[in-house]
């Protein structure tokens, strides 16, 4: 009998597991862009703890193990910014990233504060781009960071998020 994955709010006790998972998950991104100095690979534990204290952080657990995570916050303009959606490599391609994305959208949009959702990824990150498009996100801007990386910002209205979460 297999265990099921549960999604819940992250706790302070999850910080180290999330940081280790983040380090593992962003290795492929670093390799893709030839840059192992990216922020997710250099983020200190104290910075992650501050995010846990000040924003919305969800985790997916398989038993006691954190196998996926996502972060988000709604700014003063009502834009819910979603970041660092990570899924353990052995758990990818099973719909967990989509479940976690829908969960953070539902959480951030629960009180009506979110008017829209926004996230970003690198231009070569086809798997991420496919996932986000599948969940209703459309590219709204591109920013060339350096010769190797262009960030693609994707967005959708909060009404689209509510529809996706109820589907």
Residue partners of 7: CB distance under 8 A and separation at least 6? 58, 59, 60, 61, 99, 100, 103
- What are 53-66's pLDDT values in tens digits? 988 999 999 999 99
Antiparallel, parallel or unpaired: β 138-144 and 116-122:
unpaired
What's the predicted TM-score (pTM) here? Answer: 0.90
Beta strands (DSSP E) in 36-137 are 56-62, 65-74, 79-87, 116-122
Tell me what pLDDT residue 157 has: 93
Separation CA 66–CA 12 (nearest Å): 13
For the chain, the structural domain boundaries read: 5-166
Separation CA 84–CA 118 (nearest Å): 12
Domain 5-166 sits in CATH at 3.40.630.30
Separation CA 41–CA 36 (nearest Å): 7
- Six-digit token pair at 50? 């501050």
- What are 18-70's pLDDT values in tens digits? 999 999 999 999 999 999 999 999 999 999 999 999 889 999 999 999 999 99
């Amino acid at each position: 009998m297999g265990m099921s994955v549960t999604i819940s709010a992250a706790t302070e006790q999850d910080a180290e597991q999330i940081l280790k998972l983040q380090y593992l998950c962003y290795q492929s991104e670093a390799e893709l862009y030839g840059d192992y100095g990216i922020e997710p690979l250099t983020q200190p534990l104290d910075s992650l703890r501050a995010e846990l204290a000040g924003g919305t952080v969800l985790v997916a657990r398989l038993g006691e193990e954190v196998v996926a995570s996502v972060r988000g916050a709604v700014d003063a303009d009502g834009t819910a910014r979603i970041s660092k959606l990570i899924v353990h490599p052995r758990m990818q391609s099973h719909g967990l990233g989509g479940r976690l994305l829908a969960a953070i959208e539902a959480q951030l949009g629960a009180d009506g504060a979110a008017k829209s959702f926004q996230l970003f990824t690198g231009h070569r990150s086809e798997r991420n781009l496919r996932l986000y498009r599948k969940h209703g996100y459309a590219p709204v801007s591109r920013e060339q960071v350096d010769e190797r990386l262009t960030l693609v910002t994707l967005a959708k209205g909060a009404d689209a998020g509510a529809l996706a979460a109820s589907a």
